[in-house]
Amino acid sequence: MFSLHVYQERRQRLKALMPEKSLAIIAAAAEVIRNRDAEYPFRQSSDFWYLTGFTEPDAVLVIGPGQPDRLFVRPKHPEQEVWTGRRMGPDHVKQRLGIDQGYPLEALDTELKTLLCEIAWVEYPFGCQTSTAIVDQAIKAKGLRSRRSDLLSHRADLSRHLGQARLIKSRQEIEVMKEAGRISAQGHIAAMQACEPGMTEDQLASVVEHQFRMDGSPSIAYQTIVGGGDNACILHYVDRTDRLRSGDLVLIDAGCEVFGYAGDITRTFPVNGSFTNAQAELYDLVLSAQSEAIAQMVVGKSIKLFHETAVRRLTEGLIELNIIEGPLELALEDKRYLPYYMHGTGHFLGLDVHDVGAYEHEGQPVELAEGMVITCEPGLYISLSSDAPARYRGIGIRIEDDVLITGHGPEVLTAKVPKERAEIEALMRG
Ligand code: GLY
Ligand code: MN
Ligand code: MN
């Protein structure tokens, strides 16, 4: 957790963007039952975490310009805490979180009724089901009848402000993201060192995740993808049931979380430690597309440019390898690369792996700005069922790094894990 002052400042900045006489309601995530008494691992809502640093479920933050900040939390309950863990309780809200007033969750309805009588606008993240349900219920409450239609037409999506705030990372956030990048890289290095033909995809995933934990990350940022051979052509392949075969490549897309901030790395390497010629030709093409794309990740350039650069390089290479037909400009115009490269080249990264923030403003792509963190992840996916020359079929390759946009050029936060073929082969030889 950052110092309390960081969260106070974030709330302050948010309130400064809200209209007068408005109130923002942001709910924590709820626990989700897996079956009977077992829950899915709890992950705090990113918006709520960003504004409070509080990691318990079932809490609600209520803030507004000119108002004290209020946090509603689960009350202390010694008997339940024996079963489900410690709770902070409302009495510690001010001292531990620096939030002006702490309340038990049961007080939310009554307090909201009073507060909603006095305000003109109610703001909440429209995409958050719990926040939406709280606002809907509060507006429907008895005693608010005369204000109901007014409030219903004066709801605003807080996500527009939160997205902008979370998009540009502060110095402290960058430090944490560097750590997420460093630990994520260690997981990939461990996998390259441990990989052997005959292991299952899931066993290799466990090597990556074990290293994350041993290095101090409590959690993965998303389901680890490990796909051998043709499975690498399924972009979000999470089955991990097959055995890895000598002569195939394996694609690992895995990242850990540090204080909620994600790392997101993909590496592709030969299961037996040596690239075949066909694999090497495709691999070097993807690597060159990534390196040309990263060179475009510069302050002031359009956010579309690095994707366009990767697509141009990949298309050029696919023509050279006789996988698609040229000439280049026509192939680009007809998007002939699409059967082999069907995703974007990057996304914002932060508390969410596909982080918030606008890619366009008034219909135009935004310019890259200092403090953005964006992935750069070109790939080629030549599935067994494709029309490509037979020697390339069953090969999926993606190379993904996390890039911080700085005033002195792109800074790769995940550079520790090798991606040159010779470096990978050397690491795997041990
Ligand atoms: N790990 C998901 C992605 O790369 O977008
Ligand atoms: Mn990614
Ligand atoms: Mn990824």
Q: Give ∠ CA 166-134-79 in degrees, rounded to 5.
A: 95
Can you give the pLDDT at residue 151?
A: 85
Domain limits, CATH 3.40.350.10, in the chain: 4-166
Q: Active site includes 37?
A: yes
CA of 264 to the centre of ligand 2 (A): 5
CATH 3.40.50.620 for the 168-429 domain, yes or no: no
Can you give the pLDDT at residue 400?
A: 99
| Active-site residue, from 123, 355, 377, 401 | 377
pLDDT at 148 over 90: no
3-state secondary structure of 246: coil
- According to DSSP, the residues that pair with 22 across neighbouring strands are 121
Can you give the pLDDT at residue 149?
A: 84
CA–CA gap between residue 106 and residue 94 (Å, rounded): 18
Q: Active site includes 343?
A: yes
Tens-digit pLDDT profile for residues 27-58 = 999 999 999 999 999 999 999 999 999 999 99
Q: Find where tokens 């280049």 sit.
A: 328
Domain limits, CATH 3.90.230.10, in the chain: 168-429
Closest to 228 in 3D by CA, of 207, 262, 182, 197: 197
pLDDT at 1 over 90: no
Question: What is the pLDDT confidence band of residue 124, given thresholds at 50, 70 and 90?
Answer: very high
- According to DSSP, the residues that pair with 362 across neighbouring strands are none
pTM score, whole prediction: 0.96
Tens-digit pLDDT profile for residues 210-257 = 999 999 999 999 999 999 999 999 999 999 999 999 999 999 999 999
Structure token pair of residue 310: 């990767």
From residue 42, how far is each of 128, 218, 260 by CA, in Å? 16, 12, 12
Instruction: Determine if ligand 1 sits within 6 Å of the CB of residue 222.
Output: yes
Q: What is the mean pLDDT of residues 384-411?
A: 98
Structure token pair of residue 211: 């290293």
Give the ligand 1 atom nearest the CA of 255: 1
Can you give the pLDDT at residue 109?
A: 95
User: What mean pLDDT, rounded, does the chain reach?
Assistant: 97
Handedness of CA 268, 274, 276, 277 (dihedral sign): positive
Question: What is the pLDDT confidence band of residue 144, given thresholds at 50, 70 and 90?
Answer: confident
Lowest mean pLDDT among 70-84, 140-154, 352-366, 388-402: 140-154
Can you give the pLDDT at residue 41?
A: 95
DSSP classification of residue 239: -
Can you give the pLDDT at residue 223?
A: 97
Q: How many residues does the chain have?
A: 430
| CATH code linked to domain 4-166 | 3.40.350.10
Instruction: Determine if ligand 1 sits within 6 Å of the CB of residue 377.
Output: yes
